[in-house]
Amino acid sequence: MTETPHDHTAEPTPDPTRAAGEARERLTAVRAEVAKAVVGQDAAVSGLLVALLCGGHVLMEGVPGTAKTLLVRTLAGALAVDTRRVQFTPDLMPGDITGSMVIDSSQGELSFREGPVFTNLLLADEINRTPPKTQSALLEAMEEGQVSVDGVSHQLPRPFLVAATQNPVEYEGTYPLPEAQLDRFLVKVVLPIPERAAELEILRRHAAGFDPRDVAGAGVRAVTGAADIAAGQAAVKTVQVSPEVAGYIVDIARASRDSPSLSLGVSPRGATALLRAARAWAWLVGRDFVTPDDVKSLAHATLVHRLGLRPEAELEGVDVAQVLASALGSVPVPR
């Protein structure tokens, strides 16, 4: 009786570490792609990538014309994911975002028509221009990863990231997001007016024929996709956090609660958000453990929008970012 020869052509077992490493390389390449269309907003791109890896959402703030819309459109192009944009207005209804029941003309029955929230990357433009009822419909979808209409739940696609833009609150006709809703955003990125050299580069590109509506024409190509994002999300969960670093995060949160200028310090949800963001950043830069520097570099983006100033501090013109900076400075850094 002859032995059956071993089949040496069987597929090798995939190495998860190698797959995660390749996913990281492709996700890191997103920065270079976005830079082909967007000048000088690298910190904002990093914030969006961190949020994607955490399954979180991003609040983007900047005056009109600082490329918030272009940034999200370009990111979607580099990620090969579906994207939609909703312009928030005072008359926008919750169903305009989530979808609603409509009568099917062919069968005469009610059926669910999906709203623009059923996408991978949703740009919620000027979220503070719409009333609280519509804001909360979007925030519920962000929190639950689903939409409920007439008692039926509809799952949102994955990955799902909301990049909500808001103009600074001094602008007229805005509804500031309540603190409890701001807390739902993993990070807040501020898009500053670019430096002179960066602004000159923007003008040079436009003079050479750059069209903000055509990011593919600027040479932006898809370098990664949903599978790499999923692999990255799984890998981020394995990044080690030492007891010292966890203690450092808790001490930062507690220091913010002791500040005399703040009516609202960092909640436990804010502390866990900082932990998640620091793990994602550590993985993106190629480490399997979190350092105190990771925590420090993500603290402002993750925590500043969760803090509420006391009315008297607000009247005195106290800057909430400075309050957070002094709280950070008061906490000893573990070595």
pLDDT digits (tens, 9 = 90+) for 269-279: 999 999 999 99
Query: For position 14, what pLDDT does the model report?
Result: 53
Res. 300 pLDDT band, cuts 50 70 90:
very high
Mean pLDDT confidence for 131-153 = 85
Structure tokens at 4: 């059956």
Percent of the chain residues topping a pLDDT of 90: 37
Name the nearest CA neighbour of 33 among 247, 219, 182: 219
Determine how β-strand 99-104 pairs with β-strand 308-309: unpaired
Please tell me the least confidently modeled range out of 1-10, 25-34, 117-126.
1-10
CA 34, 36, 38, 44 dihedral sign is positive
Query: For position 277, what pLDDT does the model report?
Result: 96
Tell me which H or E stretch contains 103. strand 99-104
Structure tokens at 132: 């609280």
The answer on pLDDT for 7 being more than 70 is no
The answer on pLDDT for 159 being more than 70 is yes
The answer on pLDDT for 166 being more than 70 is yes
User: 7 CB contacts (<8 Å, ≥6 apart)?
Assistant: none
- Between 110 and 249, the higher pLDDT residue: 249
The answer on pLDDT for 253 being more than 90 is yes
Tell me which H or E stretch contains 22. helix 16-35
Task: Name the 3-class secondary structure at 89.
Answer: coil
